[in-house]
């Protein structure tokens, strides 16, 4: 059998704003968010034309206890779902070099799933149409459709995250991540919001100009989860305040939590003179990573 391989960087994401809207009768909450890819990403290699199915994970961001059962891994589930929908491949081997902090609201598992879907579709003798690929992505999680599409590094998303409006990417911008030594369960975060809902919000109308510059995007910065997550994790609140209070002095323009946590991010001012690495007083129990916003989705590289 012919063996082929695809490699791709599964880019992390941040939420430039995130609103949690109505809860459906199914129990799912609708969201409204502005996604942005980062240059930071897991390195994925997918091989087909192999006997059996396998998933191997390693790398500096691997948790001490591992990633849990293989059949629950989003990359594995993406490959199995693709094979079921396409009737191909009969076998695959996935290798993941984890570089995105796990359980931090940076979309690491979703990025892996989206990258695997893109890799398999690039390798397939008869690729699935985009609509079919996004249908699969939508069954895997709210972040997966955005991290599957390759049209843009930014997108406005709503409903369950499966309705997307790709937007032109903005200029590269240094991004500092602060990740604590604990994660926040997305299920728990939604439960906390249900226990302590926000007052009803009025309708929001967006226009194209709001997404045309970093200045206007910064003005929309918001995350509905911060209130309930910070209440239950005082160390995260303290780090957020410290990060925010000293932000201007170290060249940071905007500080937010990504997704349902637990990572905080700071976006640098966009002045050209800004250094690529930003000095930061890292709180105890936190790790800092300096990366940048991405200008485009990472390409899939094929090899024989």
Catalytic one of 56, 143, 218, 242:
143
Supply the pLDDT for residue 279: 59
Q: Please say whether the beta carbons of 7 and 304 come within 8 A.
A: no
What are the residue ranges of CATH 3.30.230.10 in the chain? 4-167
- 97's enclosing H/E stretch is strand 92-97
CATH match for 174-292 among 3.40.190.10, 3.30.70.890, 2.70.50.60, 3.10.129.10: 3.30.70.890
Q: How confident is the model over 91-121, as pLDDT tens digits? A: 999 999 999 999 999 999 999 999 999 999 9
End-to-end CA distance of the chain: 12
User: What integer best gives the mean pLDDT of the chain?
Assistant: 91
Q: How confident is the model at residue 272 (pLDDT cuts 50, 70, 90)?
A: very low
Q: What is the pLDDT of residues 13-45, one digit of tens each?
A: 999 999 998 666 655 678 999 999 999 999 999
* 205 or 289, greater pLDDT: 289
Give the CATH fold of the 4-167 domain.
Ribosomal Protein S5; domain 2 (3.30.230)
Does the pLDDT of residue 85 top 60, yes or no?
Answer: yes
Q: Measure the CA angle with vertex 187, ends 227 and 19; round to 5°.
A: 45
What integer pLDDT is reported at residue 192 of this predicted model? 95
* pLDDT tens, position by position, 121-168: 999 999 999 999 999 999 999 999 999 999 999 999 998 888 999 999
State mean pLDDT over 63-69: 91
Catalytic position from the list 13, 97, 112, 242:
13
**Residue 138 exposure: Cα atoms within 13 Å on the Cβ side:** 15
Neighbouring CB atoms inside 10 A of 136's CB total 23
What is the model's pLDDT at position 274? Answer: 47
pLDDT in tens, 223-253: 999 999 999 999 999 999 988 887 777 788 8
Does 143 qualify as catalytic in the annotation? Answer: yes
Neighbours of 123 (CB within 10 A): 20
pLDDT at res. 271? 56
Burial environment of residue 25 by CB neighbours within 10 A (0 to 12, 13 to 18, 19 or more): exposed
What residue spans in the chain does CATH classification 3.30.70.890 cover? 174-292
Q: What percent of the chain has pLDDT over 70?
A: 93
Distance CA 269, CA 277 (A): 12
pLDDT at 216: 94
What pLDDT digit, counting tens, does each position of 248-261 carry? 777 888 899 999 99
Per-residue pLDDT, 273: 42
């Amino acid at each position: 059998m012919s063996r082929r391989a695809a490699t791709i960087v599964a880019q992390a994401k941040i939420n430039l704003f995130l609103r949690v809207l109505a809860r459906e009768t199914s129990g799912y909450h609708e969201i409204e968010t502005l996604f942005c890819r980062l240059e930071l990403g897991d390195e994925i290699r997918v091989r087909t034309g192999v006997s059996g199915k396998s998933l191997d994970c390693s790398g500096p961001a691997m948790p001490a206890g591992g990633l849990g059962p293989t059949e629950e891994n989003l990359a594995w589930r993406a490959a199995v779902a693709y094979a079921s929908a396409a009737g191909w491949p009969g076998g695959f081997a996935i290798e993941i070099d984890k570089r995105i902090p796990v359980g931090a609201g940076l979309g690491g598992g979703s990025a892996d799933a989206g990258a695997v879907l893109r890799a398999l579709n690039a390798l397939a003798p008869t690729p699935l149409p985009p609509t079919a690929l996004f249908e699969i992505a939508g069954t895997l999680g709210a972040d997966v459709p955005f991290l599957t599409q390759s049209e843009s590094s930014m997108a406005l998303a709503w409903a369950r995250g499966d309705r997307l409006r790709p937007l032109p990417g903005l200029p590269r911008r240094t991004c500092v991540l602060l990740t604590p030594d604990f994660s926040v369960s997305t299920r728990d975060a939604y439960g906390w919001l249900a226990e302590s809902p926000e007052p009803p919000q009025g309708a929001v109308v967006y226009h194209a100009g709001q997404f045309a510059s970093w200045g206007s995007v910064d003005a929309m910065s918001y995350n509905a989860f911060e209130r309930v997550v910070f209440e239950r994790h005082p160390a995260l609140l303290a780090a957020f305040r410290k990060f925010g209070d000293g932000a201007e002095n170290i060249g940071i323009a905007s500080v937010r939590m990504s997704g349902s946590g637990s990572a905080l991010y700071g976006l640098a001012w966009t002045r050209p003179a800004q250094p690529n690495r930003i000095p930061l007083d890292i709180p105890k129990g936190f790790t800092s990573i300096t990366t940048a916003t991405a200008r485009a989705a990472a390409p899939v590289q094929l090899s024989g």
